[in-house]
Chain A
Amino acid sequence: MTSRTKRTTALRSTRSRQVAAISIVAIAALGLSACSSSKKASSGASSTPTSNSSSTGAAPSASGSGGGGGSASAACAIPSSPVTLEWWHNANNDPGKSAFQKVADDFHAAHSSVSFKVQPIQNEDIKTKIPIALQGTPPDVFQQWGGGALATQIQSGKIADITDCSKSWIGDLGKSASGWAVDGKQYGIPYDYHVVGFWYRTDLFQQAGISGPPATFNDLLTDIQTLKSKGITPISVGGKDKWPDAFYWENFVLQECPKDTVTKALDAKKMDDPCFVKAGDDLKKLLDAKPFNDGFLGTPAQQGAGSSAGLLANGKAAMELQGDWEMAVMPSLTQDKNFASKMGWFPFPKVDGGQGEPGAALGGGDGFSCSTKAPAACAAFLQYLTSADVESQLVKANAITIPSNAGAVAAISDPTLKKVQTYLQGVTYNQLYFDQALPTNVGNAVNDAVSNFFAGQGTSADIAAAAGKAANQ
């Protein structure tokens, strides 16, 4: 399912126990695997092109779903010799699990030379398993969220550059697919997109006498006071998980800073423009209005009825700033079968006087990368996976919410999600979440700084400085 859907549902009893037992051992186990593989990393890169060129003849016709074409087709054709793709994805629960299994089975049925070993892995688990696997032998197809983390992972030399193999069809996935490219080279393919906005309870807004969603930040502040005066908690936020806090600051940045400034700052890992401090000041204004649920610093985003998603689903809070995946998270957190009809959505309100690009949004998506072991078969499979037909099928199975292929958008049935999708189509640019766009350590430092700010520690300037400081460490 979506990356953030289960970003926190992590228990991983096995891993935490292991790690807890003796942390040294954990670091070291990692060390051992890295030790044995560091040699392979340097020699591995050269071996791939040759292995593909040997099997030129048979394949082009085999790629049923409108495949390859052009000069790249020789290297990108599905090899006729049997290949087994090991596929790691994070949909370890139904409906995603069986939907993905079906995709693999169907592809195998159409291309008998390609078999699959599908391994669904819990989302938090997969995040630690992939870096470790990249130090040894990575799976052939694996979960990829793009951005700075991808740029970091590429240094392993084990992620395939599939620019040529995806050239003929990557256009179907829109410009956001560039989030999975590094220096103009495509290292991954997104299969769905996300956008962050406010989910709100239409019933609670009505109860408080608020006619419609706020358009500007000042409207939002007014609505917060109105809701509070009626004894309604205006906003829930999962402060325990830090990234929900960061969503606020990042959205304020998109309001205060022009697109160029944001892009350049993320590239340079240095946020020294005054607009970044202004974003922090805006956030301070919001925090001073005390709009959040009790104990929000310790509130998880998605676990239990007391989580920020649970509070919204149960009508204990009127708004939450979250991604589109929230609609998939909430059903299991409430007994109200009808909650979906009470939900509305509005984009992050405009900040008056902000220099930000109108129509900028914060978001991301889920995708897959190929290892250098079998890039041709993997790329062909990803082409199939992200085709309009297959993505429609995944949308209908509730495995994904907003498909990356515009041709699959018609499959969305929920009216609110449709509205979110329409909004996403109209945005001028969908900025990848900062913690994903930046190298992982820098992104985490920003999240930490914002969540400290939520806890009343640090200043607006500290948040802006966090990225630069972490990048230089």
Chain B
Amino acid sequence: MSSGSRTTVRSGEVLPDVVPSSRGTRRLGRAKARPSWRQRFELSLLLGPAIILFVGFVIMPIAVAVYYSIYKWNGFGPLNDVIGLENYRRAFKDSVFVHGIYHNLIIAGLSLFIQLPLSIAIALLINRKMRGRGFLRLVVFAPYVLSAAVTAVTWMLMLQPGGFVDQVFKNVGAGGLRQLWLGDTHIVLYTIFVVATWQYMGFGIVLLLAGLQGIPHELREAAALDGATPWQTTRMVTLPLLGPTIRIWIFLSMIGSLQLFDLPWIMTGGGPAGASTTMATYLIDKGFRSYEFGYGSAVAVILFLFCFIFALVYQRFALRRDTEGAMTRMAG
């Protein structure tokens, strides 16, 4: 409500002579925006289903998870063993979980510094007019179409010692680089990152391609006429204009990294010795596998808070510029 009224003022209304105390503006805003009964009916008709779904499938579950998280509960029998914040304390004392958080952050960091530049480079390449461009785009996007479970099993089989990947290394004369891809605690996380990149990069590239399409050709042309080299054009014109897309990509990628589950779960089960555990695999392992639903809920809440806080901060500082116009228009 208050943000609504603020935007009403901001969007260029003629202000009344009265000093716009916050109370005053609010009353003003309400008076102006008071919906008729018909509007109210329409609003509830149109928003109702979405709100019910949102509350039922997002808000409620979170509330219930928070509620369970203060119990020691194995999923059966009554909820009667309140242990307060003990579950949370236990999570942060468990080195497997703490390492799981690190692993999530490592994956997030690698996505940002390896996956993103790589995606941008490939997107720029296949945005050029050339023969077989459609085919290339298809190839790049194809892995994303596969379900994560299929990807994980396929790669798990290919990465076994002496498997497909090792054979390829051997046949190109790089046999010395072979590793125990899934069996070495120092390597397994990076192996999973490579597979995740293989799977999800196509999506990022398509997103960036769409962004590139939205950049008017004239701008590049003008830059070229002014004597900019192709590199300068890319750096000074294309990339800045690609900013909103990149920021959205980062947002999706970070959330995805924090929630990473399918690939490590199926490829390694979080092992060996917890070396590829993520917050989500830990949550499922404890919650569903060990029948510790109270503890699992606490881990779920922690994971939620990570994502939520990241999302809020990111919205506030990074995405604000991109969404500002839309927000104000919506409120008006």
Binding site for B on A (CB under 8 A): 11-13, 16-17, 19-20, 22-32, 34-35, 38, 41-42, 127-128, 131-132, 134-135, 149, 152-157, 239-242, 293-300, 303-304, 306-307, 439-441, 444-445, 451-452, 454-457, 473
A24 touches B181 (CB 8 A): no
Could you say which residues of chain A place their CB within 8 Å of the CB of B157?
303-304, 306
B193 proximity list for chain A (CB < 8 A): none
Closest 6 pairs between A and B when the two form their complex, measured CB to CB = A28-B61, A298-B182, A295-B183, A306-B160, A31-B64, A297-B272
Closest B residue to A154 using CB positions: B76
6 more A-B contacts (CB under 8 A) besides A135-B75, A155-B76, A445-B290? A25-B58, A27-B65, A127-B289, A239-B183, A239-B271, A304-B160
Residues of A within 8 A of B289 (CB): 127, 440, 444
Contact B61 A441 (CB under 8 A): no
Task: Say yes or no: is B169 at the interface (Cβ < 8 Å to chain A).
Answer: no
**Contact call A297/B291, Cβ cutoff below 8 A:** no
Contact assessment for A297 and B273 in the assembled complex, using a CB-CB cutoff below 8 Å: yes
Give bound CA distance, A457 to B186, whole Å.
13
Q: Name which residue of chain B comes closest to A239, CB basis.
A: B272
Given contact pairs A16-B266, A240-B272, A131 touches B185 in the complex (Cβ within 8 A): no
Residue of B65, B182, B274, B275 touching A295 (CB-CB under 8 A): B182
Interface digits, B255-295 against A, CB 8 Å rule (1 contact, 0 not)?
00001011001101101111100001001111111111101
Is B68 interfacial (CB-CB < 8 Å)? yes
Q: Please, which residues of chain B bring their CB within 8 A of the CB of A298?
A: 159-160, 180-184, 188, 268, 271-272
Chain A residues within an 8 Å CB radius of B265: 16
On chain B, the residues within 8 Å of A22 by CB distance are 259
Please state if B153 and A303 are interface contacts (CB–CB under 8 Å): yes
Given A17-B148, A131-B291, A297-B272, A28–B183 Cβ distance below 8 Å?
no
Kindly identify which residue among B61, B262, B285 contacts A24, using a CB–CB cutoff of 8 Å. Answer: B61
Complex contact A20–B77 (CB within 8 A)? no
Contact (A240, B90) CB under 8 Å given A23-B259, A41-B78: no
**Which of B16-24, B136-144, B229-237, B296-304 contacts its partner?**
B296-304
The reply to whether B161 and A295 form a contact with Cβ atoms under 8 Å apart is yes
In the assembled complex, B121 has its CB within 8 A of some CB on chain A = no
Q: Say if the beta carbon of B210 comes within 8 Å of chain A.
A: no
A451 engages B272 (CB within 8 Å): yes
Q: In the bound complex, what is the Cα–Cα distance between A13 and B163 (angstroms)?
A: 23
Give complex CA distance A11, B262 in Å.
Answer: 10
**Chain A CB within 8 A of B150 CB:** yes
Smallest CB separation, A448 vs chain B (Å): 8
User: Bound complex: CA of A201 vs CA of B124, how far in Å?
Assistant: 56
* Interchain Cβ contacts under 8 Å between A and B, 13 examples: A19-B284, A20-B262, A38-B78, A38-B79, A131-B75, A155-B76, A240-B182, A295-B181, A297-B272, A299-B183, A441-B292, A444-B285, A455-B273
Does B127 count as interface, using CB distance less than 8 angstroms? no
- Asked whether, in the complex, the Cβ of A32 is within 8 Å of the Cβ of B271, the reply is no
Q: Does B149 contact A (CB under 8 A)?
A: yes
Contacts of A29 in B (CB 8 A): 61
Residues of A within 8 A of B78 (CB): 38, 41-42
Known A297-B272, A300-B156; contact A32-B291, beta-carbon cutoff 8 A: no
Is B134 at the interface (CB under 8 A from chain A)? no
Which of B79, B180, B273 lies in contact with A452, CB distance below 8 A?
Answer: B273
> B74 near A: Cβ within 8 Å?
yes
Q: How large is the interface on B (under 10, 10 to 19, 20 to 34, 35 or more residues)?
A: 35 or more
Docked complex Cα distance between A13 and B261 (Å): 12
In the complex, chain B residues whose CB is within 8 Å of the CB of A26: 284, 300
With both chains docked as a complex, state the minimum distance between the C-beta of A57 and any C-beta of chain B, in angstroms: 36
Docked complex Cα distance between A29 and B56 (Å): 10
Q: Does B57 contact A (CB under 8 A)?
A: yes
- A72 shortest CB reach to chain B, Å: 27
B180 contact set on A, CB distance < 8 A? 294-295, 297-298
B149 touches A11 (CB 8 A): yes
Structural contact, B148 and A28, CB atoms closer than 8 A: no
Write the nearest CB–CB distance from B163 to chain A, whole angstroms: 6
Q: How far is the CA of A400 from the CA of B161 in the complex (A)?
A: 32
| Shortest beta-carbon distance from A452 to chain B in Å | 5
A12 CA / B262 CA spacing, docked (Å): 10
Q: Which of B149, B274, B283, B303 has the most CB of A within 10 A?
A: B149
Beta-carbon contact of A131 and B160 below 8 Å: no
Whether the pair B148, A27 counts as a contact (CB closer than 8 A) is: no
Residues of B within 8 A of A38 (CB): 78-79
Say yes or no: B90 contacts A473, CB within 8 Å.
yes
A451 close to B271 (CB less than 8 A) = yes
- A27 and B297 form a contact (CB under 8 A): yes
A306 touching B77 in the complex, CB below 8 Å, given contacts A11-B153, A19-B261, A298-B180: no
Choose among A12, A30, A35, A42 the residue with the greatest number of B CB atoms under 10 Å from its CB: A30
Closest Cβ of chain B to A18, distance in Å, is: 10
Q: Is the CB of B273 within 8 A of A451?
A: yes
Please report the C-alpha to C-alpha distance between residue A149 and residue B291 in the assembled complex, in whole angstroms: 9
Contact status B283-A23, CB under 8 Å: yes
- Complex CA gap A131/B302 in Å reads 23
Are B269 and A242 in contact (CB-based, < 8 A)?
yes
Residue of B nearest to A297 (CB): B272
Q: How far is the CB of B189 from chain A (nearest CB, A)?
A: 12
Residue from the list B156, B163, B272 in contact with A455, Cβ < 8 A: B272
Q: How far is the CB of A239 from the nearest CB of chain B, in Å?
A: 6
Q: B64–A297 contact, CB under 8 A?
A: no
Known interface pairs A27-B300, A28-B65; A157-B284 also in contact (CB < 8 Å): no
In the complex, how many angstroms separate the beta carbon of B188 from the nearest chain A beta carbon?
7
Q: Is B9 an interface residue (CB 8 A)?
A: no
Q: Could you say which residues of chain B place their CB within 8 Å of the CB of A42?
A: 78
Whether the Cβ atoms of B290 and A441 lie closer than 8 Å is yes
Q: With contacts A19-B261, A300-B156 known, is A24 near B303, CB below 8 A?
A: yes
Q: Indicate the member of B162, B181, B259, B273 with the most A CB atoms within 10 Å.
A: B273
From A294, which residue of chain B is reached at the shortest CB distance? B161
Are A152 and B291 touching (Cβ within 8 A)? yes
Within the complex, the shortest CB–CB distance from B264 to chain A, in Å, comes to 10
Q: Is B213 an interface residue (CB 8 A)?
A: no
Closest residue to B62 on the A side, CB-wise? Answer: A24
Instruction: Give Cα A444–Cα B301 distance, bound, in whole angstroms.
Output: 22
Taken residue by residue from 61 to 73, chain B's Cβ proximity to chain A (1 for < 8 Å, 0 otherwise) reads as 1101101100000
* Shortest CB distance A291–B (Å): 15
A62 to B90, CA, bound (A): 56
B271 in complex: contacting residue of A152, A297, A440, A456, CB < 8 Å? A297
Inter-chain CA distance A300–B67, complex, in Å, is: 37
Q: In the complex, what's the smallest C-beta–C-beta distance from B13 to chain A, in angstroms?
A: 40
B181 CB to nearest chain A CB (Å)? 7
B77 / chain A contacts, CB cutoff of 8 Å: 41, 155-157
Distance in angstroms between the alpha carbons of A452 and B273 in the assembled complex = 5
Q: Roughly how many angstroms separate A152 CA and B162 CA in the complex, as a whole number? A: 42
A10 → B minimal CB distance (Å): 8
Residue of B nearest to A455 (CB): B273
| Chain B residue contacts of A31, Cβ below 8 A | 61, 64-65, 67-68, 297
